[in-house]
Structure 1
Amino acid sequence: MPAIRLFGLPTDVNSSFERGAAAGPAAIRAALWSDRGNMASELGPEIGTDIALTDDGDLPLTEDTPSDDVAIRRYLAMVREDGEVPLAVGGDHAVSFPLVEAASTCFGPVNILHFDAHPDLYDDFAGNPRSHASPFARICEAGYAKRLVQVGIRTLNGHCREQAERFGVEIIPMTDFTPDRVPVLDGPLYISIDLDGFDPSAAPGVAHPEPGGLTVREVLAVLHKQTAPIVGADIVELHPGRDVGDVTAILGAKLVRELAALIDRNGTPQTAR
C-alpha cells in the first residue's frame, strides 16, 4: 500500500475578496492531531495503525508565486522519488496548479475530480491569471488534465460556461444533484476539494460561502466509490477567521483521514514517465 506525505501550503497571495486561507493548514493540522477525535476513517483503516502517513508540516512559502511554485515542485519531486503520494492542505486554490503540474509530469495527463462551489476556470480574474479563481484554466490549457469532472458547481457565469465548453470540462451542478450522477474515474486520479463546495451549514469557514451546497455525506459517497489509484490530492480554502467552533477545520481533518484511507485502499499508482 502507498505511503502518504501530508504537507501544508500556507499561502493566500492569490486570493480574491479576502485573504485568510494561509492559516488553513495549521487549523486543519490542529484538528487532525487533536485528542477531540481519533485517526479512524469511515472506510475502516486508521492513520498510524493501518495507514502510513507522515506529516511534514508546512512548506516555507513566500508571497512570490513563481518562487513558491518552484518550492512546491522541488518538494513533490522528493516525495515522488520516495514513491509516496502527496496530500496537500491549503492555502488558496491557486496551489492546485503546481500540484497537478507535478502529477502530470510524473504520470502524464491526469483525471481530476474537483469539488467546489466555483469552477475556477477564469482566464484572468481581476488581472491575475494565477488567481485562485483560475487554476483549472491554467491546468487545462497546459494539457495536464485528461478529464476534469467538477462537482457541486452553483456559480457558473457566462465566461466560465464558455471556458468549460472550450476545455471539455464535465460539470455536475447542484441542481437535482445525487452522488450517482458523478462518474467513477479511471486513473491516474487527482482529487481537489475546495471546502466552499460544501454547504455553508457544514463549512462556514471559507471566504466565499455559497448557499445550496454539498453535504458531507454526499461528498463521502462520491469519494468512496472511486476505485482508481490516486496520484495526489488537496484540501483548500479553509479560512479559520470565518470558522464557527472550528467545525470547518474539523471537517478538513476528516477529509484528510478519508482521503488517506482512499489512497491506501486504491493502491499504488504506476509511473507513466
Structure 2
Amino acid sequence: MTKKIYGNTPCFLGAINASNGEGIEQSDVIIYGIPWEGAVTWGDYTGCELGPKVMRICSARYSGYLPEIDHIDVFEHLKLADMGDVDVVPADVPKTMERIESFSKKVWESGRFPVALGGDHGVTYPIVKSLTKTGKKVGIIHLDAHYDNMPSHNGDEFARSTPFARLYELDAVRNESIIHTGIHGPRNKPESGQFAKQAGAKTITVRDIRESSSLTELADRIYQEASQDVDAVYLSICSDVLDYAFNPGGPVDGNGLNSYELLTLVYEFCKKGIIGMDFVEVYPQQDPNQFSAHLVSTVVLYALAGTIKNREQKNLNGNNKKLIAN
C-alpha cells in the first residue's frame, strides 16, 4: 500500500511518513517539501508552490532500480523518510525564510542526506544558511540557466533571482567554491556575471559543458573546485538548467542541457560526495502531463545512486562512519 504524507498525496518515492518525527532514526535520506512561491520576477505566478505535492504524486510510479548504473536498486541500500512540508507563511517572506532555515537545521542535525523539493529558488539561501550553522564551511555546485545573484528584486532580498547574492554574503560559504554550472541564455544580465566574478564564484556555461570531451572529467574538475578548502559541498538544481524541450514545466529557456547531461552530472557529483541537495522551479500549472515533475524522481534517484557509490568507496577505504560525505 502506498504510504501517504497528506490526504491522498503519497510520500516521495514511497518513503516512510516521518511528518510526526517517527522513522527518522531508521532512515538514511530525508525528503521535505518547501511549497513556496515568492516574488514573481517575470511573467505571472508559476504555481511552483504546488511543486512538492505534484512531485510526490508523480514519484509513486517509480522503483529504485537503475539498470544503466550497475543494476543498482537504490531502495536496497537506502531508506527514505518524508518529513512533509515546511509551514510557509505566504504573506510574510522573512518569517517563511526563518521557518525554512529552522526546519532545515533540524534535518542537517539528524545527519541524514536531505533532499528539499521546491518551491522557487529563493529557498536555497535559508537551506544553506542552516547548514553553515552546523559549523561547516560550504561549497556549492549550482546547476541553473541563470546566476540568481541579483542584490534584490523590487526591494525583495529573498526573491528567486537573489539567493546567491545572499549566499555570497555568508562567511561560512567559500565563494571561490561556488560553481555556477550550465549558465546560458539572454535572460541573464551582464551585472550578474560581473557580480559572480567579483565575489570570486566560478562560471561553467552550457557551451563549456558541450565543448568538454568528457562529462565525467568535467564533473570531476567542477567538484574539485567546489570542494577546495571546505567541509561539505551542496548541490542546488533549478529545472531551467534543462532545455525547455526536456522541461515543459519550467522557465522557457532554450539551449539548455538535455536530460542525459543533467543526470550524468548529478550522478558524478554525488559519487564524489555531496552533503545534500534541492530541486526547484517546477511549474505544475504549465506542465499538464507533469513531464518536469516526473523527471525530478529520476534526478533524485541518480543523486542517491551516486551517494551509494560514494559510501561504497568510503567503506573500501575503511571509513564506514557516515552515509554523508564531509
Do they fold alike, i.e. is TM over 0.5? yes
1:99 CA displacement:
0.6
Is 2:275 the partner of 1:231?
yes
Q: Which amino acid aligns with 2:257?
A: L
Corresponding residue to 1:127 among 155, 158, 182: 155
Q: Structure 2 vs 1, CA of residues 2 and 55 (structure 1 numbering), >3 Å: closer, same or farther?
A: closer
Q: Structure 2 vs 1, CA of residues 128 and 47 (structure 1 numbering), >3 Å: closer, same or farther?
A: same
% same residue: 25
3-state DSSP of counterpart to 1:118:
coil
Q: Structure 2 vs 1, CA of residues 116 and 216 (structure 1 numbering), >3 Å: closer, same or farther?
A: same
Is 2:237 the partner of 1:193?
yes
Is 2:258 the partner of 1:215?
yes
1:119 CA displacement:
0.7
1:134 CA displacement:
0.7
Task: State the alpha-carbon separation in 1 of the partners of residues 50 and 195 from structure 2.
Answer: 31
TM-score when normalising by structure 1: 0.90
Structure 2 gaps of 5+ residues are 1-25, 312-322
Corresponding residue to 1:256 among 300, 304, 312: 300
Corresponding residue to 2:59 among 32, 49, 73: 32
Q: Which amino acid aligns with 1:164?
A: A
Task: State the alpha-carbon separation in 2 of the partners of residues 233 and 6 from structure 1.
Answer: 10
Task: State the alpha-carbon separation in 1 of the partners of residues 143 and 76 from structure 2.
Answer: 29
Q: Which amino acid aligns with 2:181?
A: V
Task: State the alpha-carbon separation in 2 of the partners of residues 213 and 157 from structure 1.
Answer: 17
- Which structure 2 residues correspond to residues 43-82 of structure 1 after superposition, within 5 A? 43=69, 44-63=71-90, 64-82=92-110
Task: State the alpha-carbon separation in 1 of the partners of residues 324 and 208 from structure 2.
Answer: 34
Q: Structure 2 vs 1, CA of residues 153 and 216 (structure 1 numbering), >3 Å: closer, same or farther?
A: same
Higher relative contact order (CA 8 A, sep 6+): 1
TM-score when normalising by structure 2: 0.76
1:170 CA displacement:
1.0
Answer with 166-175 or 100-109: which moved more.
100-109
Is 2:30 the partner of 1:5?
yes
Give the equivalent residue in structure 1 for 2:207: 175
Task: State the alpha-carbon separation in 2 of the partners of residues 77 and 145 from structure 1.
Answer: 16
1:140 CA displacement:
0.9
Task: State the alpha-carbon separation in 2 of the partners of residues 149 and 270 from structure 1.
Answer: 18
Answer with 236-245 or 13-22: which moved more.
13-22
**Contact 2:109–2:134 under 8 Å retained in 1:** no
Give the equivalent residue in structure 1 for 2:183: 153
Q: Which amino acid aligns with 1:76?
A: S
**Contact 1:45–1:51 under 8 Å retained in 2:** no
1:225 CA displacement:
2.2
Q: Which amino acid aligns with 1:184?
A: Y
Task: State the alpha-carbon separation in 1 of the partners of residues 158 and 144 from structure 2.
Answer: 17
3-state DSSP of counterpart to 1:162:
helix
Give the equivalent residue in structure 2 for 1:102: 130
Structure label with greater radius of gyration: 2
Task: State the alpha-carbon separation in 2 of the partners of residues 108 and 176 from structure 1.
Answer: 30
Corresponding residue to 2:39 among 3, 8, 14: 14
Give the equivalent residue in structure 1 for 2:171: 143
Q: Which amino acid aligns with 2:189?
A: N
Task: State the alpha-carbon separation in 1 of the partners of residues 39 and 306 from structure 2.
Answer: 30
